[in-house]
Amino acid sequence: MAETGVPLLLVDDDEVFCATMARALGRRGYAVTVAHDSATALERAPGQRAAVIDLRIGEESGLALIAELHRRHPELAMVVLTGYASIATAVEAVKLGARHYLTKPADAAEVDQALRKARGDPDTPIAEHPMSVDRLEWEHLQRVLMEHGGNISAAARALGMHRRTLQRKLQKRPVRR
Protein backbone atom coordinates (compact mmCIF):
# COMPACT_ATOMS: atom_id res chain seq x y z
CA MET A 1 0.00 0.00 0.00
CA ALA A 2 2.87 2.44 0.59
CA GLU A 3 3.49 3.81 -2.87
CA THR A 4 5.13 7.21 -2.65
CA GLY A 5 2.97 9.72 -0.86
CA VAL A 6 0.01 7.50 0.09
CA PRO A 7 -2.25 9.79 2.15
CA LEU A 8 -2.58 8.42 5.69
CA LEU A 9 -4.45 9.85 8.67
CA LEU A 10 -2.85 9.17 12.07
CA VAL A 11 -5.22 9.72 15.00
CA ASP A 12 -3.86 9.60 18.56
CA ASP A 13 -4.00 12.04 21.47
CA ASP A 14 -0.33 11.37 22.33
CA GLU A 15 1.50 14.12 20.44
CA VAL A 16 4.99 12.66 20.97
CA PHE A 17 3.86 9.24 19.73
CA CYS A 18 2.21 10.86 16.69
CA ALA A 19 5.32 12.82 15.77
CA THR A 20 7.51 9.73 16.04
CA MET A 21 5.11 7.43 14.15
CA ALA A 22 4.45 10.10 11.48
CA ARG A 23 8.19 10.38 10.76
CA ALA A 24 8.59 6.60 10.61
CA LEU A 25 5.58 6.14 8.32
CA GLY A 26 6.78 9.04 6.17
CA ARG A 27 10.04 7.15 5.60
CA ARG A 28 7.91 4.22 4.42
CA GLY A 29 6.24 6.31 1.74
CA TYR A 30 3.15 7.66 3.48
CA ALA A 31 2.05 11.31 3.42
CA VAL A 32 0.92 11.50 7.03
CA THR A 33 -1.74 13.87 8.34
CA VAL A 34 -2.09 13.93 12.13
CA ALA A 35 -5.20 14.50 14.26
CA HIS A 36 -5.33 14.47 18.06
CA ASP A 37 -9.13 14.24 18.41
CA SER A 38 -12.10 12.82 16.54
CA ALA A 39 -13.48 16.12 15.25
CA THR A 40 -10.14 17.01 13.64
CA ALA A 41 -9.83 13.49 12.25
CA LEU A 42 -13.23 13.77 10.56
CA GLU A 43 -12.27 17.16 9.08
CA ARG A 44 -8.98 15.80 7.71
CA ALA A 45 -10.29 12.43 6.48
CA PRO A 46 -11.39 13.41 2.95
CA GLY A 47 -8.70 12.40 0.47
CA GLN A 48 -7.01 9.94 2.83
CA ARG A 49 -6.49 6.35 1.66
CA ALA A 50 -5.59 4.88 5.06
CA ALA A 51 -5.97 5.66 8.75
CA VAL A 52 -4.27 4.50 11.93
CA ILE A 53 -6.56 5.12 14.89
CA ASP A 54 -5.94 4.84 18.62
CA LEU A 55 -8.68 3.07 20.57
CA ARG A 56 -8.67 5.76 23.26
CA ILE A 57 -8.38 9.30 21.95
CA GLY A 58 -8.35 11.28 25.17
CA GLU A 59 -11.80 10.67 26.59
CA GLU A 60 -13.19 9.71 23.17
CA SER A 61 -13.71 6.23 21.77
CA GLY A 62 -11.75 5.27 18.70
CA LEU A 63 -14.54 2.78 17.95
CA ALA A 64 -17.03 5.62 17.46
CA LEU A 65 -14.55 7.33 15.15
CA ILE A 66 -14.05 4.13 13.13
CA ALA A 67 -17.81 3.76 12.68
CA GLU A 68 -18.19 7.36 11.49
CA LEU A 69 -15.16 7.23 9.20
CA HIS A 70 -16.41 3.97 7.68
CA ARG A 71 -19.85 5.51 7.14
CA ARG A 72 -18.39 8.58 5.43
CA HIS A 73 -15.43 6.93 3.66
CA PRO A 74 -16.08 3.17 3.21
CA GLU A 75 -12.95 2.81 1.02
CA LEU A 76 -10.64 4.02 3.83
CA ALA A 77 -8.28 1.25 5.03
CA MET A 78 -8.28 1.56 8.84
CA VAL A 79 -5.96 -0.01 11.41
CA VAL A 80 -6.52 0.27 15.17
CA LEU A 81 -3.39 0.75 17.27
CA THR A 82 -3.96 0.52 21.02
CA GLY A 83 -2.36 -0.04 24.39
CA TYR A 84 -5.71 -1.28 25.73
CA ALA A 85 -6.31 -4.33 23.58
CA SER A 86 -9.10 -6.79 24.24
CA ILE A 87 -10.94 -9.37 22.23
CA ALA A 88 -14.20 -7.43 22.58
CA THR A 89 -12.76 -4.21 21.17
CA ALA A 90 -10.90 -6.06 18.41
CA VAL A 91 -14.10 -7.75 17.26
CA GLU A 92 -16.06 -4.49 17.40
CA ALA A 93 -13.35 -2.57 15.53
CA VAL A 94 -13.42 -5.07 12.68
CA LYS A 95 -17.23 -5.13 12.62
CA LEU A 96 -17.21 -1.32 12.44
CA GLY A 97 -14.83 -1.26 9.48
CA ALA A 98 -11.24 -1.58 10.68
CA ARG A 99 -8.99 -3.77 8.56
CA HIS A 100 -6.59 -4.72 11.32
CA TYR A 101 -6.01 -4.35 15.08
CA LEU A 102 -2.53 -3.92 16.54
CA THR A 103 -1.35 -3.57 20.12
CA LYS A 104 1.19 -1.01 21.27
CA PRO A 105 4.06 -1.00 21.15
CA ALA A 106 3.97 -1.50 17.39
CA ASP A 107 6.41 0.00 14.95
CA ALA A 108 5.92 1.53 11.50
CA ALA A 109 6.82 -1.76 9.80
CA GLU A 110 3.97 -3.55 11.61
CA VAL A 111 1.53 -0.74 10.78
CA ASP A 112 2.62 -0.80 7.13
CA GLN A 113 2.22 -4.58 6.98
CA ALA A 114 -1.26 -4.35 8.55
CA LEU A 115 -2.31 -1.73 6.00
CA ARG A 116 -1.10 -3.94 3.15
CA LYS A 117 -3.12 -6.92 4.41
CA ALA A 118 -6.55 -6.80 2.85
CA ARG A 119 -7.64 -10.24 4.08
CA GLY A 120 -7.22 -12.44 7.13
CA ASP A 121 -4.39 -14.94 7.40
CA PRO A 122 -5.51 -18.59 7.77
CA ASP A 123 -1.95 -19.49 8.78
CA THR A 124 -2.08 -17.39 11.96
CA PRO A 125 -0.90 -19.65 14.78
CA ILE A 126 -3.40 -20.73 17.42
CA ALA A 127 -2.30 -20.16 21.03
CA GLU A 128 -0.78 -23.18 22.73
CA HIS A 129 -2.13 -22.30 26.18
CA PRO A 130 -5.43 -20.86 27.38
CA MET A 131 -5.56 -17.29 28.71
CA SER A 132 -4.58 -16.60 32.29
CA VAL A 133 -7.30 -15.92 34.84
CA ASP A 134 -6.18 -12.27 35.03
CA ARG A 135 -6.44 -11.93 31.24
CA LEU A 136 -9.86 -13.61 31.25
CA GLU A 137 -11.02 -11.06 33.84
CA TRP A 138 -9.71 -8.20 31.67
CA GLU A 139 -11.51 -9.59 28.62
CA HIS A 140 -14.75 -10.06 30.58
CA LEU A 141 -14.64 -6.48 31.89
CA GLN A 142 -14.07 -5.18 28.36
CA ARG A 143 -16.95 -7.25 26.96
CA VAL A 144 -19.39 -6.06 29.65
CA LEU A 145 -18.25 -2.47 29.15
CA MET A 146 -18.85 -2.79 25.38
CA GLU A 147 -22.30 -4.30 26.03
CA HIS A 148 -23.16 -1.17 28.00
CA GLY A 149 -21.94 1.26 25.36
CA GLY A 150 -18.83 2.25 27.31
CA ASN A 151 -20.91 3.41 30.30
CA ILE A 152 -18.76 2.56 33.32
CA SER A 153 -21.57 3.01 35.87
CA ALA A 154 -23.90 0.66 33.98
CA ALA A 155 -21.13 -1.90 33.46
CA ALA A 156 -20.22 -1.75 37.16
CA ARG A 157 -23.84 -2.39 38.13
CA ALA A 158 -24.00 -5.34 35.71
CA LEU A 159 -20.78 -6.74 37.16
CA GLY A 160 -21.92 -6.19 40.75
CA MET A 161 -18.92 -4.05 41.63
CA HIS A 162 -18.32 -0.50 42.70
CA ARG A 163 -17.82 1.98 39.84
CA ARG A 164 -14.44 3.09 41.23
CA THR A 165 -13.24 -0.50 41.42
CA LEU A 166 -14.13 -1.00 37.77
CA GLN A 167 -12.46 2.29 36.80
CA ARG A 168 -9.29 1.23 38.61
CA LYS A 169 -9.26 -2.16 36.87
CA LEU A 170 -9.84 -0.54 33.47
CA GLN A 171 -6.99 1.95 33.92
CA LYS A 172 -4.49 -0.87 34.26
CA ARG A 173 -2.77 -2.15 31.15
CA PRO A 174 -4.20 -5.43 29.91
CA VAL A 175 -2.54 -8.49 31.33
CA ARG A 176 -0.55 -10.54 28.84
CA ARG A 177 -1.96 -13.88 27.92
Of 137, 123, 133, nearest to 165 by C-alpha is: 137
Could you tell me the pTM of the whole model?
A: 0.70
Contact 29, 1 (CB under 8 A): no
Radius of gyration of the chain (CA): 17
Task: Report the alpha-carbon distance of residue 155 to residue 160 in Å, rounded.
Answer: 8
In order, the DSSP letters of 94-160 are HHHTEEEEEESS--HHHHHHHHH--S--TTPPPPSSPPPHHHHHHHHHHHHHHHTTT-HHHHHHHHT
Tens of each residue's pLDDT in the chain, 177 residues: 545 689 999 999 989 889 999 999 999 999 999 999 999 999 999 999 999 999 988 888 899 999 999 999 999 999 998 877 788 888 899 999 999 998 877 889 999 988 888 766 666 666 677 667 777 787 788 778 877 878 889 989 999 999 999 888 887 666 565
Contact 177, 127 (CB under 8 A): yes
Domains of the chain (ranges; CATH) run 6-116 (3.40.50.2300), 133-171 (1.10.10.60)
